[in-house]
Amino acid sequence: MFGSPTPTVEAMITEPATDVYDITLAELNGGRYRVFVFDGDIPTLVDAGLEGTTDVVADALTDLDIEPERLVVTHGDGDHVGGLPGLVERYDLETWLPEGLDVEGHDPDHRFGDGDEVGQFTAIHTPGHTPEHHSLVDEDSDVAVMGDAVFGADARGLPEGYFVLPTGYYSADLHAADESLAKLLAYDFDVGLVYHGESVTEDASKKLERFVNFAGKPE
């Protein structure tokens, strides 16, 4: 997705929510490539980054003094699973993959589907970008990992702080991607984490509701 980005020499780390970290691994043409880490009872990585960014992730985790124990994958694009083999080799990770996703050379510890509990997360099947795509909601932390169900609005040249759909260039079924967002409206979260563009860090579920239920939407 978005070409072949070059890993950064040193990750950029931000904390969009308490004990939740955004680790930016690489940039290309203004696009950012990330993993997220939730530092809780079982420190958890969400997605694995690109092939070749394992060292960048590991250095960032060392800086954060976090030893991950679990890895949850939202979907199978290369910027989300490319680093999986390297991270599993480096850390003793319990791995969770969505039903219908196979990663070459890796047999996951667990599979999950719509509505399943994955550690602190509830998995929500949000297909369209890819058929197996899931978003992950952690209501206790007031955070949702949106995966690529949506991008930050600035990824499409709009002001930060809102969501947009991924372009059709990167969606297997853009209509399904649009429709599946309605499933997330059953959950409340203040922060919506995205992998492309800037995450939404205030009133995320309310902003998503306005995006989904736009004025004049047919019944």
Domain holding 183: CATH number? 3.60.15.10
Both structure tokens of 51: 């092939």
Q: Catalogue the long-range contacts made by 89-94 (C-beta closer than 8 Å, 24 or more residues apart).
A: 90/54, 90/58, 91/67, 93/45, 93/68, 93/69, 94/42, 94/69, 94/70
DSSP state letter for 211: H
Burial class (CB in 10 A: 0-12, 13-18, 19+), 193: buried
Both structure tokens of 103: 């990663």
Residue 10's pLDDT is what?
Answer: 73
Residue type, 9: V
Task: Write down the residue that tokens 């809102």 correspond to.
Answer: 162
Residue at 1 is within a domain = no
Residue 29's pLDDT is what?
Answer: 62
Both structure tokens of 176: 């399904």
Task: Give the up-direction half-sphere exposure of residue 120: CA atoms within 13 A in the CB hemisphere.
Answer: 21
* Residues 134, 123 contacting (CB under 8 angstroms): yes
Residue at 188 is within a domain = yes
For CA atoms 67, 105, 170, 33, the dihedral sign is positive
DSSP 170-203: G-S-HHHHHHHGGGGGGS--SEEE-SSSPPB-SS
Residue 5's pLDDT is what?
Answer: 61
Angstrom distance (rounded) from CA 16 to CA 161: 12
Residue 48's pLDDT is what?
Answer: 97
Q: How many domains does the chain have?
A: 1
Measured between alpha carbons, how far is residue 40 from residues 25, 70, 101, 173, 215 in Å?
22, 11, 26, 35, 40
Residue 28's pLDDT is what?
Answer: 67
- Range of the structural domain that residue 161 is part of: 6-103+121-212
Angstrom distance (rounded) from CA 19 to CA 124: 22
Residue at 148 is within a domain = yes
Residue 84's pLDDT is what?
Answer: 97
Residue at 21 is within a domain = yes
**Torsions phi, psi of 115, nearest 5?**
85, -5
Which residues of the chain carry a pLDDT beneath 50?
A: 1-3
Residue 44's pLDDT is what?
Answer: 98
Residue at 67 is within a domain = yes
Residue at 29 is within a domain = yes
Residue 150's pLDDT is what?
Answer: 97
* Residues 35, 8 contacting (CB under 8 angstroms): no
Residue at 189 is within a domain = yes
Residue 16's pLDDT is what?
Answer: 97
Both structure tokens of 151: 């991008």
Residue 6's pLDDT is what?
Answer: 57
Residue 27's pLDDT is what?
Answer: 74
Residue at 115 is within a domain = no
Residue 115's pLDDT is what?
Answer: 98
